[in-house]
Amino acid sequence: MQLKQNKHKKPRVVLLSKPRDFLKIPISPEEAFAIKQVERIVGYQFRTKGILLVALTHRSYINILKKHKGVIYSNERIEFLGDAVLETVISEFLFKNYPQYPEGVLTLIRAATVRTETLADVIKELEINNFILLGPGEVRTGGREKPYILANMFEAIVGALFLDSGIRKAQKFILSNLIPRIKNIIRTQSYKDPKTHLQEITQEYFKLTPIYEIINEEGAAHAKRYTAVVKLQDKIIGSGIGPSKQRAQENAAQNALQKINKIIKQQNVKN
C-alpha cells in the first residue's frame, strides 16, 4: 500500500464513538477501494465512510497507521458493538420464529449460529476477507483465512452498519446471511454438543462408537494448540484444532458431522 509517510513524531489515538468522530480519519485511495468493494458486497453505501474503514482495520495494521497517518485505531470497539447487536437480532429472530423450543434449546441454537466458524464462513463466502486491512506479518501468516479474524470482521461490519444507519440495516445483513444457516443448524441438530451428536448418528447409522485421538500438540504453555482426529474403527472421519484437547475433539466431531450429514443428504436425494 502506497501511503505518504507521516511526519508526526508521536502517533495519536483517535477517539471514536459518534459518527462525526469518524470524519477525522484520512482515507487513502487503496483504503477507499476496499470500502467501495465491501459496500458493493454488503449492498449499502455508508454515509460516513470512516466507520466502515475502521471496521475493516485489524489491529495488526496499526504500525502502518502510525507510520503513514500518525493516528491509531482498529475495529475492536466496533466489533464489541456488533457482537451485542448480533446477539440481540438472532435472539429476537429465534424467539419469534421457533416458539416450540424452550429457552435452553434456543440458547444452543444461538450459540451455534454465532460461533466463530459460522461467521467466518460467511465472510469467506462473501469474499470480504480480501479487503480486510492487515499488517504485512498477519498477511504472511494467512490472516485472511484465520477464522477468529474473519468472525471478528463479521461482527465489526454489523457494528458499522448499526452505527451508520441503525438497527434495520444491521438486521438485514445479519438475517440475510444467517437464516439459511439457522435452518440448517436446526435440521441437522448441530446445535447439540458435537461429540454427543456424532455418537448418536454413528450408532444409528453404522452401529459404531467414535474414538478420539490427539495427534499433535504445539505452542508455548500459555498458547497451546492441539490437533485431534476422530475415527470409526480405524478410519479417520474428522479432524480439528483447538486451544484445549476438549475443544480440538469438539472441532473434530463437528468436522465429521459435516461430512456425514453431506453423505446422508446425498443418499436421501438418490432414494
Give the Cα separation of 109 and 117 in Å (integer): 14
Single-letter code of the amino acid located at 58 = H
Residues 6+ apart with CB under 8 A from 218: 224, 225
Give the Cα separation of 175 and 129 in Å (integer): 20
- Is residue 174 a contact partner of residue 89, using CB atoms and an 8 Å limit? yes
Q: Which residues are catalytic?
A: 83, 155
Single-letter code of the amino acid located at 141 = T
Q: Decide: helix, strand or coil at residue 80.
A: helix
Q: Which of 179, 193, 198 is nearest to 237 (CA)?
A: 198
Q: What is the DSSP track for 7-75? A: --SS-EEPP--SGGGGGGS---HHHHHHHHHHHHHHT---SSHHHHHHHTB-GGGHHHHHHHTSEE--S
β-sheet bridge partners, residue 211: 231
| DSSP code, position 114 | S
